Amino acid sequence: MNAAQDTGETLLERAPQALRDLLTSHLPEPWRWFANSLIAIVAILAVFGLLFAALTLAERKILGRVQNRPGPNRTGPFGLLQPIADGIKMLSKEDIVPRDADHLLHFLAPVTLLASSILAFAVIPYGRHLIPVELDAAVLYFFCVGATTELAVFMAGWSSHNKYSLLAAMRALAQLISYELPLLLSWLPVVMISGTLSTTGIVAAQSAWRWGWMPTWHVFTPWGLAGFVIFMVAALAESNRSPFDLPEAESELIAGHLTEYSGCKYVFFFMAEYFGMTALSGMAVTLFLGGWHAPLPSLEFIPSYVWFGAKLITLLMGFIWIRATFPRLRIDQLTRFAWKFLVPLALVNLGTTAFWSLSFGWTGPLLAARCTVAVILVVVPFVLLGRRLSSGLTPRTYSYAP
């Protein structure tokens, strides 16, 4: 499948596997799969739990730097212990449930949300041998699990018996349903090209090298780039991140569906948001950025999971950067952006991909024609739809009183 396999793998590449086998090899055979699964679960929770902690700190630090301030720097060296202090604070807070709230739903909402966001980690290939669960329909599973967040956010908003929460719940539904469509449409081309719903298969489809050095990641094709951008924008909206953080828009809705949550339950929401963001970024890496593959053949000596982590963190930093920069959209603008811009663009992208797939064998001048047509199919709808979307919005010139 990959050139690196022929040359033999480094010790580091096999290290996680070897470590697991060391732990489970003395167990009787029937128990081994169970122990293996358990170890995978613990590893995921530990790694992404730590990543969550690091991410909250990184976000606050980066936001601080962007905004001319140092960010947290009092707990531990450079504020590195801040996540721990935050955790202790949040967990020791009183859990307040409004008297008129639906207690069961109020409790279930954060649990559902967190559970579904953790489940999404199951099918992402983190490295050459690191995939917790091999599923034939892994991508489908991933987005089905992701769709549960809508239910959980609505549960939270409805059960809180707070008007801000209710408004937030309505917004969340409108937003998540609107963006579910472009999100799903944006990765369909990948399935069309690679012919599989299995994440391992999709990564394998991006393993070749063109001209001996250029990776054949999907993002380096016209349809792949368009799909990647649509995917990331929809992922921003799906994970309620700025500029699409309407359900918890603090300027008008206090904290939206989180208004009546405190302590541990609030942490669950918070974790779920970051887990969701991480999982969607991981899926973007898998679908479009070549998964765990190195960007250059000469760099393949570095373990595959390092490459996956590097790509993942790059995407997450993008999320933070966007948060530091943009104002928030309004709900009608948000849905308009989805239905009138992203969805048509994603639909056209399906056509582009079909063309790309049909013209697979073209060579010579036909290859140039193939690339040109594909680029036109991506750029022209983007420009036309974008112009319609932003019509009437211009910087203005001002006159002065006589």
Partner 1 sequence: MSPFDASPLSPSGGAHVRSVVDEFHGDLLEVSMGPHHPSTHGVFRMIVTLDGERIVKLKPVLGYLHRNHEKIGESTSYLGSMPYTDRLDYLNAMTNNWAYALAVERLGGLAVPERAEYLRVILAELSRLQNHVCLAGFLLQDTGASGTPLMYAFREREKILELFESLSGSRMMCNFQRFGGCRTDASSEWLGQVSSLVNGFGAFLDEFEELITGNEILMARTQGVGVMKGPAAVSAGITGPMLRACGVGYDIRKVDAYGIYPRFTFRVPIGSHGDTYDRYMIRILEMRESIGILQQALRDIPAGPIMDPKAKLRGFRPKPGESYGRIEGPKGEIGFYLISDGSANPYRYRVRPPSFVNLTLLEDLCLGHTIADSVVILGSIDIVLGEVDR
Q: Of 165 and 194, which CB lies nearer to partner 1 in the complex structure?
A: 165
Question: Which phi and psi angles does 127 have, rounded to 5°?
Answer: -165, -175
Binding segment toward partner 1, per CB under 8 A, in 26-34, 108-116, 190-198, 250-258: 250-258
Neighbours of 177 (CB within 10 A): 13
- The Cα–Cα gap between 347 and 184 comes to 11
Q: For residue 209, give every residue at least 6 positions away whose Cβ sits within 8 Å of its Cβ, in sequence order, or none.
A: 3, 215, 216, 297
Shortest distance, position 62 Cβ to partner 1, whole Å: 11
Q: State the binding string over 154-193 for partner 1 (x if CB under 8 A, else -).
A: -------x-xx-xx--xx----------------------
Q: Which residues of 136-149 are buried (b: 16+ CB within 10 A; e: fewer)?
A: eebbebbbebbbbb
Q: Does 243 bind partner 1 (CB under 8 A)?
A: yes
For residue 291, report the phi and psi dihedrals to the nearest 5 degrees. Answer: 55, -130
Q: Which of 63, 135, 191, 354 binds partner 1 (CB under 8 A)?
A: 63
Q: Is 251 in the site for partner 1 (CB under 8 A)?
A: yes
Which residues on neighbouring strands pair with residue 215, listed in sequence order?
A: 209
65 binds partner 1 (CB under 8 A): no
* 254: contact with partner 1 by CB under 8 A: yes
Q: Minimal distance in Å, beta carbon 327 to partner 1?
A: 4
Residue 394 binds partner 1, judged by CB under 8 A: yes
H or E element at residue 209: strand 209-210
Asked if 159 and 97 touch (Cβ cutoff 8 Å), the reply is: no
Residues contacting partner 1: total by CB under 8 A: 44
- Complex with partner 1: residue 298 or 397, whichever CB lies closer: 397
Instruction: Name which of 298 and 391 has its Cβ closer to partner 1.
Output: 391
The binder of partner 1 chosen from 7, 333, 357, 372 (CB under 8 A): 333
Could you say whether residue 325 binds partner 1 (CB under 8 A)?
yes
Using the rule CB under 8 A, is 21 a contact of partner 1? Answer: no
Smaller CB distance to partner 1: residue 221 or 240? 240
Convert residues 195-234 into a mask of x (bound to partner 1 by CB under 8 A) and - (unbound).
----------------------------------------
- The amino acid at residue 249 is A
Region from 28-36, 283-291, 292-300, 320-328 binding partner 1, contact rule CB under 8 A: 320-328
Q: How far is the CB of 69 from partner 1 (least distance, A)?
A: 6
Angle of helix 343-358 relative to helix 163-194, nearest 10 degrees?
10
Instruction: Give CA separation, 46 vs 97, 130, 282, 312, 319, in Å.
Output: 29, 15, 16, 16, 22
Question: C-alpha distances in angstroms, 393 versus 244, 341, 387, 388, 390?
Answer: 19, 16, 10, 10, 6
Residue 243 vs 303, nearer CB to partner 1: 243
Which residue in 205, 249, 338, 374 binds partner 1 (CB under 8 A)? 249
- The string of DSSP codes covering 253-311 is HTTGGGTT--HHHHHHHHHHHHHHHHHHHHHHHHHHS-TT--SSGGGTTS-HHHHHHHH
Does 283 participate in binding partner 1 (rule CB under 8 A)? no
Contact 175, 248 (CB under 8 A): no
Residue owning tokens 């373990």: 303
Q: Site residues (CB under 8 A) for partner 1?
A: 63, 66-69, 161, 163-164, 166-167, 170-171, 242-243, 245-246, 249-254, 323-333, 390, 392-396, 398-402
